[in-house]
């Protein structure tokens, strides 16, 4: 029998992506195979490349643009979308928690002038902008803007941040820390990160080709996604519409290199195994893996090796794709956006192919999804994230239907 206090369910999903606002726009975009990556120039002087940008953000109230960074505003828009159907006067809503991930946070509002003469930079309008710098500001802004009082936490674990935020929120729910938790990630495009990845020669100047032998690197994107998580008992008590069940989650670290993943994907394979252990499912039951799939030389090989190991017991190859080929790499938001995509895949019974995947990495045991959207019932889907510093996270979502 299901322990309703130990079962974590998703009762809301809010998304702001280059497709626009809302889960419906994300679903429509993915099903149509629309790629949001586009050539862009002069995001800083001299930059030419390919990114995926979010258009106009919804109006968030007077003064919001001066108090909140772009990362904050993306998070606020996604959070508002996630809670659109909730009774905001309810106890559960008021006491809910916020766990929001970001890597960029308020860096989007800061320019190099701060390093030359900080006091002058603050005097000339930088003081308020610098206030949004801490990673905690994103979660604090969401809590403040929605008027909710529960535990409030920022998370920054590089590109695994969004998934880690969801895992930590699930733990907090099991502890009874709050009746529900808004968990996700948000990151805006900004010169700091573009320049950083460019300096590492990690960017593909054209649209990225995850898992292709001829891949050249990643494209940066921006966006935010927020899941409303609560226990099945809580959701049932308030007759909430259950969108998905978070069946399992796990986090590990490679502990092998500051930036590169472990070549054999050992830590990631362990992470996937632990998530399946928690979900009490075997490798054959996972119908789809939404991969981290950045398109960099090192990541994609390590990830393929991890899948080969983790799914070695399957009776048929594991279907895998990277939706970064549609939306770019949204850094701290990526794990949350991809969790939303995994939920969308389950709800639509649709496995989204990797775009531009012509010549996949050779790896037995992996069914690289490419070409058309594959339609099939999908009881369980996994979203996998990894990041600089060796962090890995795996989330397993289920339809909740027997």
Stretch that binds another protein, among 210-218, 293-301, 338-346, 381-389 (CB under 8 A): 381-389
State the nearest-atom distance from the C-beta of 32 to another protein, in Å. Answer: 34
Helices (H), 2-149: 23-32, 64-67, 70-82, 91-94, 113-116, 118-121, 127-131, 136-146
Cα three-residue angle 275-161-274, rounded to 5 degrees? 10
Q: One symbol per residue from 70 to 109: x for binding another protein (CB under 8 A), - otherwise; what is it?
A: -------------------------x-xx----x---x--
Catalytic residue list contains 149: no
Rounded to the nearest 5°, which phi and psi values hold at 205? -70, -25
Stretch that binds another protein, among 56-64, 133-141, 228-236, 304-312 (CB under 8 A): 133-141
Find the binder of another protein among 154, 217, 248, 360 (CB under 8 A). Answer: 154
174, two tokens: 């099991």
State the nearest-atom distance from the C-beta of 48 to another protein, in Å. Answer: 10
CA atoms of 223 and 85, how far apart (whole Å): 21
Coil vs helix vs strand at 125: helix
Question: Considering only residues 113-132, where is the footprint of another protein by CB under 8 A?
Answer: 113-116, 118-119, 122-123, 127, 130-131
Find the binder of another protein among 12, 143, 234, 400 (CB under 8 A). Answer: 143
Other C-beta atoms closer than 10 Å to the C-beta of 166 total: 32
**Is residue 231 involved in binding another protein (CB under 8 A)?**
no
**Is residue 388 involved in binding another protein (CB under 8 A)?**
yes
Size of the site for another protein (CB under 8 A): 78
Residue nearer to another protein on the CB measure, 230 or 270:
270
**Is residue 133 involved in binding another protein (CB under 8 A)?**
yes
For 311, residues 6+ apart whose C-beta sits below 8 A from its C-beta are 272, 283, 286, 318, 365, 366
Catalytic residue list contains 329: yes
State the nearest-atom distance from the C-beta of 117 to another protein, in Å. Answer: 9
CA atoms of 206 and 217, how far apart (whole Å): 9
**Is residue 136 involved in binding another protein (CB under 8 A)?**
yes
Residue nearer to another protein on the CB measure, 168 or 340:
168
379, two tokens: 């009881």
Residue 169 in contact with residue 393, Cβ under 8 Å? no
Find the binder of another protein among 24, 174, 237, 297 (CB under 8 A). Answer: 174
CA atoms of 76 and 327, how far apart (whole Å): 20
Q: Single out the catalytic residue among 190, 262, 329, 330.
A: 329
Q: How far is CA 112 from CA 18, 201, 245, 369, in A?
A: 27, 21, 44, 42
Coil vs helix vs strand at 228: strand
State the nearest-atom distance from the C-beta of 267 to another protein, in Å. Answer: 6
Q: One symbol per residue from 187 to 226: x for binding another protein (CB under 8 A), - otherwise; what is it?
A: ----xx-xxxxxxxx-------------------------
Residue nearer to another protein on the CB measure, 40 or 131:
131
Q: Single out the catalytic residue among 145, 247, 292, 330.
A: 292
Catalytic residue list contains 35: no
CA atoms of 76 and 192, how far apart (whole Å): 22
**Is residue 166 involved in binding another protein (CB under 8 A)?**
no
Burial (CB < 10 A; 0-12, 13-18, 19+), residue 296, is buried
**Is residue 158 involved in binding another protein (CB under 8 A)?**
yes
CA atoms of 228 and 88, how far apart (whole Å): 13
Q: Which residues are catalytic?
A: 159, 292, 329
């Amino acid at each position: 029998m299901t322990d309703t206090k130990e079962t974590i369910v998703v009762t809301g999903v809010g998304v702001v992506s280059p497709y626009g606002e809302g889960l419906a726009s994300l679903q429509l975009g993915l099903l149509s195979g629309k790629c949001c990556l586009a050539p862009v120039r002069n995001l800083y002087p001299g930059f030419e490349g390919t990114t995926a940008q979010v258009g106009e953000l919804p109006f968030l109230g007077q003064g919001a643009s001066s108090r909140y960074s772009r990362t904050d505003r993306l998070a606020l828009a996604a959070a508002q979308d996630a809670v659109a159907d909730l009774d905001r006067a309810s106890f559960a809503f008021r006491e809910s928690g916020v766990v929001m991930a970001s890597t960029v946070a308020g860096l989007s509002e800061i320019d190099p002038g701060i390093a030359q003469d900080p006091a002058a930079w603050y005097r000339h309008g930088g003081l308020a902008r610098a206030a949004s710098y801490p990673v905690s500001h994103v979660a604090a802004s969401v809590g403040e803007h929605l008027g909710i009082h529960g535990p409030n936490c920022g998370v920054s674990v590089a590109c695994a941040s969004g998934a880690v935020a969801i895992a930590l929120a699930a733990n907090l729910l099991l502890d009874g820390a709050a009746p529900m938790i808004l968990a996700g990630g948000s990151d805006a495009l900004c010169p700091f990160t573009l320049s950083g990845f460019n300096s590492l020669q990690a960017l593909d100047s054209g649209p990225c080709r995850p898992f292709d032998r001829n891949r050249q690197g990643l494209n940066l994107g921006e966006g935010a996604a927020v899941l409303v998580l609560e226990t099945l008992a809580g959701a049932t008590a308030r007759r909430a519409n259950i969108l998905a069940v978070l069946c399992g989650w796990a986090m590990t670290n490679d502990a092998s290199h500051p930036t590169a993943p472990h070549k054999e994907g050992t830590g990631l394979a362990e992470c996937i195994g632990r998530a399946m252990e928690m979900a009490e499912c075997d490798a054959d039951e996972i119908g789809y893996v939404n991969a981290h799939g950045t398109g960099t030389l090192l990541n994609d090989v390590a990830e393929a090796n991890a899948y080969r190991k983790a799914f070695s017991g399957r009776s048929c190859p594991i279907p895998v794709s990277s939706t970064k080929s549609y939306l770019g790499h949204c850094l701290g938001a990526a794990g949350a956006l991809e969790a939303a995509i995994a939920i969308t895949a389950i709800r639509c019974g649709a496995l989204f192919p990797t775009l531009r995947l012509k010549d996949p990495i050779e790896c037995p045991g992996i069914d690289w999804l490419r070409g058309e959207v594959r339609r099939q019932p999908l009881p369980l889907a996994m979203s996998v994230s990894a990041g600089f510093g060796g962090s890995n996270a795996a989330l397993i979502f289920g339809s909740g239907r027997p």
